[in-house]
Structure 1
C-alpha cells in the first residue's frame, strides 16, 4: 500500500524483456530484496540491489495495463516505497494496481496553478468525483472537476518540480488508479441488489 506522495524520481538504466533497472538515491534507506516500490504508480517487487541501482520484474499484464511499456533507457520515473504505519498519511490509499491509462488532453494555467486535463475511459471515470482522489503516475491528486470523458487536476509547484508530472504534455499516456474506497462501495451496493432502503440506513446508523 502507498500514499501517492512520490519520494523521488529515478532513471531507467537498463530494460530487459522481463523488467527494469532503476537508478535512484533516497529510497535506498532500509530498502531490501522483496520490498515493494511504486514505479509510476505501479507496485513492483525489488529483486536485486547493486549500489544505487535496483531491479524489478514486470509482468506482461502490467505492461498491457500501464504505461511502463512506453519507457525508454534514460526515462525518468516516479518512485515511492510502501507505507509504514509509523509514517504520516499525506495523500490517499494507493494500491499500486493500475486500472488503466489515460491521455493528457490539455495543459493550461490559472494564475500560479497549472491545470492538467486527462481523458480517461469509462471504467475509471465512473469512480471519479469532484474533490475526490485519483492517482496519476503514482501521484495522489485531487479532482477539480470532471466531465463524462475526462477530469482536471491542479498541479502545485512542488509536484511539478519533484515528480515527472511537470514534464507531461498533451498526448502523453499516464497511469491511472481510482480510489479503492469507491470500488468497495460500488461492489457493496451491487451485492445488496437494490436492497438499500430506509430500514437498511436506520440499521447502520445513517438515520435516527
Structure 2
C-alpha cells in the first residue's frame, strides 16, 4: 500500500522489450536502500524491483500494465515519480493508494495561477470511475484533492512544492497521466450499481 506522497523522482536509463513485457532500468536517490523483490510505485504503478546493478535498478511491466497505464510510452530520459510502500508504523500523510492504476487520463489544460497551478484532466467515464468534489485522486502516483468534479473531467490545484518535486512540472496538455480513483469511492459506486 502507498499514500501518494512522492519520495523522489527517478530517471529512465534504458527500456528493453521482451515479448509483450518491457524492462525499465532507472536511477533513483535511494538506490542503496532498495532490495530485490521490493514493491516500488512508478507514476503510481506498483512494480517489483527485479535487479539492482551499480547505479541503477530494473523493474518489469507486463502487457496488462502497459495497456492500462502511461508506462508504455516511457522512454530514456523520462522522469517518473517514485514512492516506496508504506511501512506498518508509518504516518499516513496522503490517502490510500494501492498502486493499481484504473485508467489513464488526458491533460486538457494547465493554468498558471501566479503561485499555484490548476491542472484539468479528462477520462473515459464509461468505465465507471468517478471523482467527488474535495475527494482524493492519485495522478501519476500523487495524492491530490479534486477541486472541480464533472462526469468525465476533474481539476486539481497544485502548490509550488508538489509542482517542483514531482513530474507534474513536465505534464502539458495532450499528455497521458495515470489515474487511480479513490478506493472508498470505487466500493461505494460498485455497491450502488448493484442495487
SS of equivalent to 1:46 = strand
C-alpha separation in 1, matches of 2:49 and 2:150:
38
Ranges in structure 2 where 5+ consecutive residues have no aligned partner: none
Q: Name the count of aligned residue pairs.
A: 191
1:102 matches 2:105: yes
- Counterpart in the other structure of 1:69: 72
C-alpha separation in 2, matches of 1:84 and 1:124:
32
In structure 2, the CA distance between the partners of 1:9 and 1:153, relative to structure 1 (3 Å rule), is: same
**Root-mean-square deviation over aligned CA pairs:** 1.5
- Counterpart in the other structure of 1:12: 12
- Counterpart in the other structure of 2:158: 155
* TM-score normalised to structure 2 length: 0.92
Ranges in structure 1 where 5+ consecutive residues have no aligned partner: 194-208
C-alpha separation in 2, matches of 1:145 and 1:126:
15
- Counterpart in the other structure of 1:122: 125
- The Cα offsets for residues 135-189 of structure 1, whole Å up to 9 and x where unpaired, read as 0000110000122221000011111111101111111110000011111222334
SS of equivalent to 1:80 = strand
- Contact kept, 8 Å, 1:133 with 1:142, in 2: the verdict is yes
- Which protein is richer in strand relative to its size? 2
Q: Which structure has the greater CA radius of gyration?
A: 1
SS of equivalent to 1:2 = coil
- Contact kept, 8 Å, 1:124 with 1:178, in 2: the verdict is no
* TM-score normalised to structure 1 length: 0.87
Q: Which among 37, 42, 50 is matched to residue 39 of structure 1?
A: 42
Q: CA deviation at 1:93?
A: 0.6
C-alpha separation in 2, matches of 1:120 and 1:144:
16
- The Cα offsets for residues 76-119 of structure 1, whole Å up to 9 and x where unpaired, read as 11111111122111110101111110110001133421000001
C-alpha separation in 2, matches of 1:27 and 1:137:
21
